[in-house]
Homo-oligomer: A and B are copies of this chain.
């Protein structure tokens, strides 16, 4: 019963098979391996973006930070939700990679940026005053930190505001596949067709050992990106092992199938929880993450049974009246089984 995070799950067997195959013989290092050519082709095809620059790194923080640093100057600011991963969970990585750019924190329900909040912040940073930091970029996350998936309309609305203010858009897609499956649209529709310039395209949380792609739909800063990646220690010598994972991921719809499994698991989990008396969802379940509350006694039982997940927010105690409601975050991954879910529901009910 493991719902702590999708980064605690295993890699998919197809991924490990690909790594084993890639290990045969020698290969030129630093991304000059032939498998990377295949990855580049596949991503360009999948995103209908024949000129996109495509790079691999091993962590989501590296993907986000390198992407943002190539989009903003040190004296600019990145507009993002106050619960964005880049704000709360990367120990200041965007500031480090960008040379000290600022993050301007926006509001909105379910960790989705509200258009008004973005407009207000842009109005404040009008951008022609040397005393203020300047407008840099907009960063939106989907699936976001409160389980939310932006609709195509929501993405487009934010991108349009950004465009009319001449700032580029970054998408933190650490769980891009989960969001895409949830929307049922094309990868292009969810990104550059809506106005996204640079994408962190996650793999690690969806069955890879540790690979994220950065896709620059506008390749004008591709060389800068390569230099930044090297300079940050994120260019792998034995790059073929990254290439092989991403290549397998993008073959035979594996990436979509894995994401669908995780999303379906979350749906089943939410459905089960809602059957408990008094239980409710504390955020909508848009993809593979469930925020919900149920009586304390159910949490105590789960804890005793060794189930792993986070009480959310911090600071709610397992000691107290058994019928009080306690809220929690549960994350499903591709390997979460129906049996595991059902056992959990049975435990907490």
Please report A residues at the B interface, Cβ cutoff 8 Å: 2, 4-5, 7-11, 16, 19-20, 23-30, 57-63, 65-66, 73-75, 77, 88-93, 95-103, 105, 130-134, 204-205, 209-210, 224, 226-228, 230-238, 241, 308, 335
Contacts and interface: CB of A to CB of B under 8 A. Distances in A.
A58 B132 contact: no
One complex includes copies of this chain to the number of: 4
B210 A91 contact: no
Most central of A26, A29, A96, A228 by chain B CB within 10 Å: A26
Contact of A130 (B7, B19, B96, B235): B235
A135 to B, nearest CB: 12
Nearest to A104: B105
A232 B230 contact: no
A88 B11 contact: no
A214 B258 CA distance: 34
A60 B235 CA distance: 10
A88 B132 CA distance: 6
19 contacts: A9-B26, A10-B23, A10-B25, A16-B20, A30-B130, A58-B236, A61-B230, A62-B234, A75-B91, A75-B92, A75-B228, A88-B132, A92-B102, A92-B231, A97-B233, A130-B226, A130-B235, A134-B227, A210-B236
